[in-house]
Structure 1
Amino acid sequence: MESISVFEIIKVGIGPSSSHTMGPWNAAAAFIRIIKRERGSVQQVKEVFLEFFGSLAKTGIGHGTDIAGILGLSGEDFKTIDTAQIDGKVQKIKDSGKMIFAGEKEIPFIYGHHLKLNMEETLEYHPNGMIFRAVFEDGSEDLVQDFYSVGGGFIQSREKKSIQKFSVRTLYPCHHGADIQRYCSELNIHHVSDLVLVNEESWRSKEETKAQALSIWQQIKECVYKGVNKEGVLPGGLNVSRRAAGLNRRLLGGKTYSGIDEWFERVMDAKVKSFTNVSNWISCFALAVNEENASFGRIVTAPTNGASGVIPAVLMYSQAFTEAVGEENIIRFILVAGEIGTLFKKNATISAAMGGCQAEIGVSSAMAAAGLTEILGGTPGQVLMAAEIAMEHHLGLTCDPIRGLVQIPCIERNSMGAIKAITAANIAMQSDPSKARVSLDAVIQSMWETAQGMNERFKETSEGGLAIAVNVPEC
């Protein structure tokens, strides 16, 4: 089994969906690379066609799948694009009927002709399927490539060689929770993060790993800060009002600030640290991130965009309201949370189109619970136990976004996932893991079995649950 870096699970992304926005965007970039590999350049490309199938098509408009496809084919990078310019760039292509393919050659591009959402057909390999086709000036055979967005921005194709990266095997491969427990015991390692740090050397030095974790923390703070300072209504037509800014204002009691650091000092200096007050701050952190995500903001995918508020909320909570503060604890939290995410990616799924929302909010809650337990001083057994408890109580959670928008019930679910993660960590810290009747590996297996038995309507199609129970006019 291939090893996965924690920074493939926790990474900088763009809203509103990792599987429906980032995945197609990554696929478009991969298609461009294939053309350049096969033809040397894109100068012979006459036209490009893109068709989305299954879940990608059914919730494509609400998730910005079409926008991702257009911008990806234009050569834009979601890690660096000015998010404020997205609407304008897409509208210009639609109005002109032309695209600068790969940022290098102008070609015709008619929305609805060159890009289609096929809601009637699902490709066999995965519910999140798409097919790209390039037509060439010299009349040579079209280049056709299928891609599948499998969650968290990851993509696959039937011809794995077309996108497969160099496989990495870590020094102490941890593909199951039992592997983590065994290596920690055999090597006399008392902190899971120490084991993860060693394994991450397969990709980069320890110093680089720590720096990247702190960079993630900075991105988290910036995202939350943006979210708590924006008022208004989220795009998409549901008329969902932003709540984080108002909640932030009320919790601070009118205190002012002039930047991220000063704002966070105000949060930490809050005089009232009752359970209710702290709980409100946790919700505020999560809401802020997911409101940014819902409006094509830059967020930290962890492990997906729909669940991107859980880990930031719990990590912010740890730094504002516990004794486990400081850069060393931030690094440990992120390393352990990411490692737990790899277990779900390898043994189950982090795609809501495959497993429902248990694969997103459930996994992120398990990750956050493990990370928090680590920095609270938990043993490896307690870290794994916390992750198990958090997932156990998300089993069967459906993905039923109204109108395909990552807003209702997605935004509030991140607050709930964060609270469950903290509760799971607290329970684990007061428990003896040797007496636990359910292991993390068992709950991951149960999650996968639940996913396979779940009705397709509840897997990010907007054809079941709240998506049809709530009567909302067409957006």
Structure 2
Amino acid sequence: MNNSPITTSIFDLFKIGPGPSSSHTIGPMKAAFDFLQRLGQLPETSLQQAADIHVHLYGSLSATGKGHGTDRAVVAGLLGWKPDTTDPVALLALLKDPAQTYPVRVGEREFGVGPEHIHFERKRYDSPYANTMVMRLAGSGPDGGPLTLLEEEYYSVGGGFILRKGEEQAGSSGALPYPYGTMKELKTQLDDHHLTLEQLMLANEMALTGRTRKQVFQDIDRILDFMHKAVRRGLRHRGILPGSIRLHRKAPVLYKQACGLAHSSDRFLIFLNAYCLAASEENAAGGIVVTAPTSGASGVIPGLTYLARHHFHYDRAVLRSGMMAAAAVGFLVKHNASISGAEMGCMGEIGTASAMGAAFLTHCAGKSIDAIEAAAEIGIEHHLGMTCDPIGGYVQIPCIERNAMGAVKAYNAFLLATSGLPSHQKISLDAVIKVMKATGRDMSTKYKETSEAGLALSATEC
């Protein structure tokens, strides 16, 4: 386990941005935007020697980057676009014409960036992380030879989180009132200080980000609003998703079916499936979603929270509190294993989302921290070893249906965890996260976002 305390904000875990992938779309866009800011800090003399910007993509960013729109995301970031304010229609329009270049302005200079400046490098790069981006401003020296004026190395580590080489350990600058790095430590803090989980999470968030209590609540409400907008859009939109698979949307059909089954015991389950598919299909279409904890898993929590709001009729306060419980579980996985499909396979994405969803449901139901832990543990336990093998590199098959399956497992984990005494649970959340990390480490890279094995090999049949 990681010995340092968790210093992740709720609003870093739940990020608003365009689909289809937090690692391949949101992360590269943020990295390219950061590189643009650093270009702007160069002296004019260096810029006068510059000729081109080149971006080199490694790992699964190279293997499935085309299908995930990584090249478009990089161009968008270099144009100064940010994930939470990007127009998804404008993003999808980038690079439609392979001959077109886009003007990147740095000071008084302008550089044209197009497909020829983005290199998908299938060779292995010596890096501590699976998904690496190297961004370079190149020019000519006094003798006419090649010259590198600025080079930065970035890592996309899942959920839209990025690290820049040399700043990997950057974290909170202030002390948290209730630090913890494991579920055991979290429970000790709750017991020692006689706190509820919401009180602890709120106090840490306020200390970490400087937000007031009111601002934290408002921003969680905003996250929920974006999640539920994605669900509603997905329930309306019909047709075929982008990409060569030509996959038909299914959410509107399921929703209509559920509405017509007034007296069927299947109705509840079909509604849940429809809500999860709706948000996930919007992600696959490049729409605005919320990483929860990743874009590939952005249907699980939205589907469950939409169900909780419209079927269980939980009010805003209960939903907010449940989101904090979900965040606590997401923090623990990210801190002690990984939420990246490139490192953990799909157990890092859907497995974590399912555990977060189980914690959300259990907390909303007013159950104890022991029950929340048990529900989250069950959620992860039954996703151990799940591969990440997207057909064609698109976040569609099996990704969309996996969101619905992950939500159903979350609901069942909630039922199992609250059906008896939580103290009878034999496996702790900390233990299953440790197993998760070991499983991801042992899993072949073929099964981790590269589309080189598993269902991805069925592409010719689609």
Shorter-chain TM-score tier: over 0.9
Residue of structure 2 equivalent to 1:265: none
Quick one: which amino acid aligns to residue 84 of structure 1?
Answer: V
Q: Percent identity?
A: 35
Q: Which residue of 2 aligns with 1:267?
A: none
Which residue is 2:54 aligned to? 49
Task: Tell me the residue number matched to 2:222.
Answer: 215
Q: Note if contact 2:95-2:114 (Cα within 8 Å) is conserved in structure 1.
A: no
Amino acid at match of 1:30: D
SS across alignment from 1:160 = coil
**Cα pair 2:46 2:149 within 8 Å, conserved:** no
CA contact (8 A) 1:131 1:144 kept: yes
Q: 2:425 aligns with which of 431, 436, 459?
A: 436
Q: Which residue of 1 aligns with 2:166?
A: 159
Name segments (4+ residues, structure 1) moved above 6 Å: 137-140
Aligned ranges 1:30-179 → 2 under 5 Å = 30-39=34-43, 44=48, 45-91=50-96, 94-101=98-105, 105-112=109-116, 114-135=117-138, 141-160=148-167, 164=170, 166-179=172-185
Secondary structure (helix, strand or coil) at the match of 1:235 reads coil
User: Distance between the aligned counterparts of 1:407 and 1:144, measured in 2?
Assistant: 34
RMSD: 2.2
Any stretches of 5+ residues in structure 2 without a counterpart? none
TM-score, reference length from structure 2: 0.92
What code does the residue aligned with 1:149 have? S
Please say if 1:306 is aligned against 2:296.
yes
1:234 to 2:241 alignment? yes
Q: Which secondary structure does the structure 2 equivalent of 1:135 belong to?
A: strand
2:13 aligned with 1:9, yes or no? yes
Structure 2 Cα separation of the partners of residues 292 and 411 of structure 1? 10
Shift of 1:71: 1.1
Q: How far apart are the structure 2 equivalents of 1:96 and 1:402?
A: 28
Post-superposition offset of 1:196:
0.9
- Tell me, yes or no, if structure 1 residue 471 matches structure 2 residue 456: no
CA contact (8 A) 2:16 2:83 kept: no
Any idea what SS the aligned residue of 1:151 has?
A: coil
Within 1, Cα distance between the matches of 2:45 and 2:437?
42
Tell me, in whole angstroms, the C-alpha distance in 2 between the residues paired with 1:386 and 1:86.
38
Q: CA offsets per residue over residues 66-94 of structure 1, 9 Å max, x none?
A: 111111111112211221122334336x4
Once the two structures are overlaid, the 10-residue window that deviates more, 229-238 or 101-110, is 101-110
Between the aligned partners of 1:283 and 1:104, the Cα distance in structure 2 is 52
Residue 123 of structure 1: how far off its partner (Å): 3.5
Residues 137 and 148 in structure 2, CA contact (< 8 A), matched pair in contact too: no
Q: Quick one: structure 1 residues 166 and 376, their matched pair in 2 at CA, closer, same or farther if it must change by over 3 Å?
A: closer
Secondary structure at the aligned position of 1:233 is classed as coil
One-letter amino acid matched to 1:183: Q
CA distance in 2 between partners of 1:134 and 1:14 (Å): 27
The CA deviation string for residues 401-440 of structure 1, in whole angstroms up to 9 with x for no partner, is 0011100000000000000111111111222222221000
> Once the two structures are superposed, what CA deviation does each residue of 1:374-414 show, in whole Å capped at 9, x if it has no partner?
01011011111110010010000000000111000000000
AA at the equivalent of 2:194: N
Corresponding residue for residue 261 of structure 1: none
Q: 2-side partners of 1:373 and 1:24: how far apart?
A: 35
